[in-house]
Amino acid sequence: MSAGATQATLGLDTFKDIAALAYRESGLLLVPEKLLMVQSRLRHRLRALQIHDFDQYASLVCSDPGRDELRFMISALTTNVSHFFREPHHFDLLTEHLLPIFRKKIATGQRIRIWSAGCSNGQEPYSIAMHLCRTEPALARADFRILATDIDPNVVAFATRGTYPEQQLTAVSEANKSGFFEQAPNNAGCLTVQDYLKKIISFRELNLLGAWPMRQTFDAIFCRNVVIYFDTKTQEKLWPRFKEALAQDGMFFLGHSERISSPDSFGFSTIGPTAYKADKQLSAIRHN
């Protein structure tokens, strides 16, 4: 790293400009207490661009020619921490509430769709696919697909490859390792997801605050440890959008530190810890 980029200091006014841009573009809430974190995370972008101060960098990302760099900035500021089979009670609820519906859909050839919104490095959608295909093997041959999206193009690319160091697979059982993974070619100490499981999942870049191109509804949506970075106003704009994206009686999962305040006012009913169901009766009451 160049000396200038290494020693660059982020001033409060410039931080406010960057924070306002991050909020406007991605809903990311950056309070002044995060200034040193932002400074640390963006210094490598200054190095990559051979820029020596944050004022110049802020001018770039706030300009039309800086739209591509803006994506890299949001990526640098986004925390991408995930684990396989995180919050296992959600998988239990998925089995209890939706698997009977899925079996009926399999028998009649209907589509089954799940969305992992904010999929990070891919552990969540792969966990969902492994859990459901092991519980109901017929899903692997059914019209079953998972859409996995994230705002960060780097993690989308990583997740698409589906290759993980073995130390990241400690929560994956030996049965799941042998059934769904294989030795990564030319990458000792890593396992890669087998192709037939990869084919179930489509990884795409998506900003939750932008347009959603999906036209059909989902049987379940996982959006865990994403909205915690949004303020209440932004969250409350998202709840109705998620509700409309769910099929009748579809399930919606949040992270352990996230909640929908007054879920019934957004057409949801609570069915477990940070787990909700799209309730059509509540929707009717709300809109009549």
As annotated, the active-site residues are 41, 150
CA pseudo-torsion sign 241, 126, 203, 217: negative
Q: In terms of Cα–Cα distance, which of 213, 286, 218, 209 is closest to 252?
A: 218
- Alpha-carbon Rg for the chain, nearest whole angstrom, is 21
Distance of CA 171 to the CA centre of its chain: 19
State the DSSP H helix or E strand holding residue 246, giving kind and residue range, or none if neither: strand 246-254
Is residue 200 classed as helix, strand or coil in its secondary structure? coil
Contact assessment for residue 151 and residue 78, using Cβ atoms and an 8 Å cutoff = yes
Token representation of residue 168: 């990241």
End-to-end CA distance of the chain: 61
Is residue 218 classed as helix, strand or coil in its secondary structure? strand
Q: In terms of Cα–Cα distance, which of 34, 124, 32 is closest to 87?
A: 124
Is residue 91 classed as helix, strand or coil in its secondary structure? helix
* Phi, psi dihedrals of residue 126, rounded to the nearest 5°: -65, -35
Q: Angle at the Cα of 279 (from 288 to 113), degrees rounded to 5?
A: 130
Token representation of residue 140: 């692997």
Contact assessment for residue 135 and residue 179, using Cβ atoms and an 8 Å cutoff = no
